[in-house]
Structure 1
Amino acid sequence: MRKGFALTRAAADRGLAIVLFLIVWELLPRLGLVNRAYLSPPTEVAVAVGKLFANGAVWSHAAASLQRSLSGLLLAIAAGTLLGLLIGWFKRLEAIVDPLLQLFRQISAFALFPVFILFLGIGEASKTAIILWASFWPILLNTVSGVKHVDKLLVDSARSMGASRPYIFFRVVLPAAAPSIFTGIRLGGAYCITALVAAEMIGSSAGLGFYILNSQEIFQIPDMYAGIILLAFLGLALNYALALIEARFTRWRKGLSNNA
């Protein structure tokens, strides 16, 4: 009984801020405190979302956005993880490439978008490239940090027992760095959704980013907010999926916490 009450109370606490936010959002335009032409009440936005599902348009836009975001994110995971492991493991390599990486990481993906268009055109390749660039850096930096901050006692213990360098890397360093790597991947997932909007606003005919911009241009404001809400849920779904994958590959941490 107490456990059920505690769960109910926890759920209520977690939803309280959202409920209050929706109430304030509903009241601001209806009371005339904010121009209703610019801020649609959530009830109208909900109707717009329902229409998107009713006419089936949501699936084509969501599928296009999901395909672009996953393409860029998966490439960023492959490149960022591999390069991060090499930089974190080989100190000389870090000394060589770190100045260049520190320079490049200061360049916004949005600033490079014209460059991507020049070299790759306005098709899918340039959109994937901007998502890749935005997602790459948190994955790379967290991977490097995870490898560099592995407990030296673990490495020294394995080395003292005659373990080879490759064995230490794959059986000690890589599992110990996994939590940091997955933190970077989840951050990369958030960055890829942010970059997705900018990528789809140029030369697209489908996608939630395109739908948001197109709705704003034809002044269908409830539809614009509906696209924003759906994009937020897409980001939440992606983050939840990445969290499940992280839990799958770092189950050993649960065992350590239970033993502690």
Structure 2
Amino acid sequence: MTALESTRSIATRSRRRVRSRSMSARSLILGSVSVIGGIAIWWLLALAGFQLPTPPEVAAKAVALADNGALYKDVGMSLMRVLSGFLLGSIVAIPVGFLMGWYPIARGLMEPWIQFFRTIPPLALLPLVIVLLGIGEVPKIFVIFLASFLGCVISTFQGVVSVDRTLINAARVLGAKDGTIFLRVVIPASVPFILVGMRVGLGSAWATLVAAELLGASVGLGYRMQQGQLFYDLPSIFVGIIIIGVLGLVMDRLLLATEKKLTSWQERR
């Protein structure tokens, strides 16, 4: 590389870093404006006579729940259930998706069942799961696992079958065996699909959690929201909704940051 080419490369990387920082700052500003605007609209609706608690009432309720320790127990238990089901679902979904995408026989055997269970909401299986597994932690984690698994497996499968055949054929021409092609071509090309599937599975896990905690739970954010419904305690319901939204958003941002790190080789708009 000549000195001129090196200088141009450094200048290009510098411009990309500046542009990335500018976009991050703009996103942060827009996000802050959106959050403040949403809270302002919520407050105005509460003051206008809608049956909504005001933001200070919700904040006071959150402080009261934190003071007696109930909030920490609820958050900890809900996080444990979501993380357990989500991680188990992702760990199982990724190899299953690879098998379906790489081996036609595995695809023929598994795809009908995957598509069958995709049409059945995991919550529809909750009564059956409770009858078979009881009302402990296992049925709750299982339905969350199922929701996460179904959200991730199809995306992983799609990633494998979407790999550019030209790359695979070029690797074969160069003498690469199937194992090498799978490790060096298919897996890297499928990573963006896998992470998108994990983000979808994470959203499904949080959505399933609340309903799972409505049955047979004595602690958790979903349980706290149910108690708020029974006693018409709207601030408690809002506390649960906000915490679930914040936790889900933070976890989604972490997955998005991981995706950007692992797919930095991709061209982005």
TM-score after normalising by structure 2: 0.86
Q: Whole-Å Cα distance in 2 between the matches of residues 254 and 8 of structure 1?
A: 20
- The Cα of 1:246 is off from its aligned counterpart by 3.0
- 1:16 counterpart residue number: 33
- The Cα of 1:131 is off from its aligned counterpart by 0.3
- 2:153 counterpart residue number: 140
- The Cα of 1:93 is off from its aligned counterpart by 2.1
What amino acid sits opposite 2:64 in the alignment? K
- 2:171 counterpart residue number: 158
Q: Whole-Å Cα distance in 1 between the matches of residues 27 and 251 of structure 2?
A: 24
- 1:28 counterpart residue number: 45
- 1:79 counterpart residue number: 92
- The Cα of 1:5 is off from its aligned counterpart by 9.1
Point out the more displaced range, 4-13 or 111-120.
4-13
- 1:94 counterpart residue number: 107
- 2:14 counterpart residue number: none
Q: Whole-Å Cα distance in 1 between the matches of residues 23 and 86 of structure 2?
A: 38
Q: Whole-Å Cα distance in 2 between the matches of residues 209 and 59 of structure 1?
A: 14
- 1:106 counterpart residue number: 119
- 2:66 counterpart residue number: 53
- The Cα of 1:256 is off from its aligned counterpart by 4.9
- The Cα of 1:88 is off from its aligned counterpart by 0.4
- The Cα of 1:168 is off from its aligned counterpart by 0.6
For the structure 1 residues 102 and 10, does the alpha-carbon distance in structure 2 shift closer, same or farther, using more than 3 Å as the test? Answer: closer
Q: Whole-Å Cα distance in 2 between the matches of residues 6 and 108 of structure 1?
A: 38
What amino acid sits opposite 1:21 in the alignment? G
- Preserved contact between residue 26 and residue 43 of structure 1 (Cα < 8 Å): no
For the structure 1 residues 122 and 256, does the alpha-carbon distance in structure 2 shift closer, same or farther, using more than 3 Å as the test? Answer: closer
Q: 2:183 aligns with which of 170, 173, 183?
A: 170
- The Cα of 1:7 is off from its aligned counterpart by 6.8
Q: 2:264 aligns with which of 247, 254, 257?
A: 254
RMSD, aligned α-carbons: 2.3
Q: 1:124 aligns with which of 109, 134, 137?
A: 137
For the structure 1 residues 257 and 231, does the alpha-carbon distance in structure 2 shift closer, same or farther, using more than 3 Å as the test? Answer: same
Q: Where do 5+ consecutive residues of structure 1 fail to align?
A: none
For the structure 1 residues 163 and 6, does the alpha-carbon distance in structure 2 shift closer, same or farther, using more than 3 Å as the test? Answer: closer
What amino acid sits opposite 1:16 in the alignment? V
For the structure 1 residues 24 and 174, does the alpha-carbon distance in structure 2 shift closer, same or farther, using more than 3 Å as the test? Answer: same
- The Cα of 1:112 is off from its aligned counterpart by 0.4
- 2:54 counterpart residue number: 41
What amino acid sits opposite 2:211 in the alignment? A
Q: Whole-Å Cα distance in 2 between the matches of residues 11 and 56 of structure 1?
A: 32
- The Cα of 1:221 is off from its aligned counterpart by 1.2
Pair 1:185 & 2:202 matched: no
- The Cα of 1:170 is off from its aligned counterpart by 1.2
Q: Whole-Å Cα distance in 1 between the matches of residues 265 and 189 of structure 2?
A: 14
What amino acid sits opposite 1:117 in the alignment? I
What amino acid sits opposite 2:227 in the alignment? N
Sequence identity (%): 35
Q: Whole-Å Cα distance in 1 between the matches of residues 107 and 258 of structure 2?
A: 29
Q: Whole-Å Cα distance in 2 between the matches of residues 16 and 207 of structure 1?
A: 31
What amino acid sits opposite 2:43 in the alignment? E
For the structure 1 residues 122 and 90, does the alpha-carbon distance in structure 2 shift closer, same or farther, using more than 3 Å as the test? Answer: same
Note the alpha carbon deviations across 1:9-60, whole angstroms, 9 max, x for none: 553322223222211211112122x13xxx2112211221222333332221
What amino acid sits opposite 1:157 in the alignment? A
TM-score after normalising by structure 1: 0.89
Note the alpha carbon deviations across 1:195-226, whole angstroms, 9 max, x for none: 01011111111111111111221222111111
Q: 2:252 aligns with which of 226, 229, 239?
A: 239
Pair 1:225 & 2:242 matched: no
Q: Whole-Å Cα distance in 1 between the matches of residues 216 and 178 of structure 2?
A: 49
Structure 2 SS opposite 1:254: coil
Structure 1 SS opposite 2:232: coil
Note the alpha carbon deviations across 1:156-193, whole angstroms, 9 max, x for none: 11111111111111111011101100110111111100
